Amino acid sequence: MQIAIIGSGNVGKALAGSFTRAGHDVTLTASNPDHAREAAAQSGGRAAESNREAAAAAELVALAVHYPLVDGVVAELGDALAGKVVVDVTNRVDPADPGSTMDGTSAAEQIQARAPEARVVKAFNTAFAARQADPVVEGVALDAFIAGDDDQAKQAVAELAGSIGFRPIDAGPLVMARALEAMALLNITLQLRNNWPWQAGFKLVGPTP
Ligand SMILES: NC(=O)c1ccc[n+]([C@@H]2O[C@H](COP(=O)([O-])OP(=O)(O)OC[C@H]3O[C@@H](n4cnc5c(N)ncnc54)[C@H](OP(=O)(O)O)[C@@H]3O)[C@@H](O)[C@H]2O)c1
């Protein structure tokens, strides 16, 4: 799959490495082009000169920037997102006031509203970068929860998640991104409160036929 990753930080690098190892073609961008080039060199991907250039050539665009920057990035990408699978990996986090982000919406729904021609899917946000880089813990494949309104787009993301080692799980329509963002918030809060090392990920146990 031809994949553009907007953002070359913890998430951009981790997903780029996993995607290229699985045989996908990855292009990265960053605010500082040197960071995109470094991430591309580390992960076996390529750096693009601009977000639009990366998105235009991709079948799937992953948004891996901080939430406050998403609006600007989506506006910049504009019609380059039309018809594309857009994977929202972002989380909204305010550790000082966790409830403030549980406000009856989600980043993914906001992106879909701003880019109505895009096929927005929420995925990978429930896994920390360490687990995006390596989704298998002691032989157990972590679950990748995937929410979206476009079944074909969701299926493409499920195949992508499976190709890098997750067990993909269809979490329902895009509105379920609210739950996925809250799951991430829970895990972030647990790491902060307990001084855990940002390695734990979600796995449903018990029969899930
Ligand atoms: N870290 C995790 O474990 C994790 C897990 C799941 C979800 N998330 C979410 O994923 C998102 C990224 O987190 P992160 O930890 O990867 O952050 P990060 O390490 O700070 O990386 C953010 C990246 O975004 C780039 N960027 C900023 N503005 C940009 C623009 N206009 N166009 C293109 N790239 C731009 C930055 O470029 P520069 O390098 O040039 O500054 C940087 O490479 C956040 O929404 C976060 O909540 C994080």
Name the DSSP class of 32.
S
pLDDT of residue 45: 98
pLDDT tens by residue, 167-179: 999 999 999 999 9
Task: Give dist(CA 166, CA 161) in Å, integer.
Answer: 5
Name the band, by pLDDT with cuts 50, 70 and 90, for residue 202: very high
Name the band, by pLDDT with cuts 50, 70 and 90, for residue 75: very high
CA 32–ligand 1 middle distance (angstroms): 12
pLDDT at 46 over 90: yes
Nearest CA to 171 among 104, 88, 99? 88
Q: Within 6 Å (CB) of ligand 1, which residues are found?
A: 6-12, 29-32, 35, 51, 64-67, 69, 73, 89-91, 93, 125, 128-129
Can you tell me the mean pLDDT for 141-165?
98
Q: Are the C-beta atoms of 179 and 195 separated by less than 8 Å?
A: no
Name the band, by pLDDT with cuts 50, 70 and 90, for residue 95: confident
Tell the residue number behind the tokens 């890098």, with chain if given.
164
Name the band, by pLDDT with cuts 50, 70 and 90, for residue 209: confident
CA 99–ligand 1 middle distance (angstroms): 22
CA 128–ligand 1 middle distance (angstroms): 12
pLDDT of residue 185: 96
Burial per residue of 61-82, b for 16 or more beta-carbon CB atoms within 10 angstroms, e otherwise: bbbbbebeebeebbeebeebbe
pLDDT at 61 over 90: yes
pLDDT at 188 over 90: yes
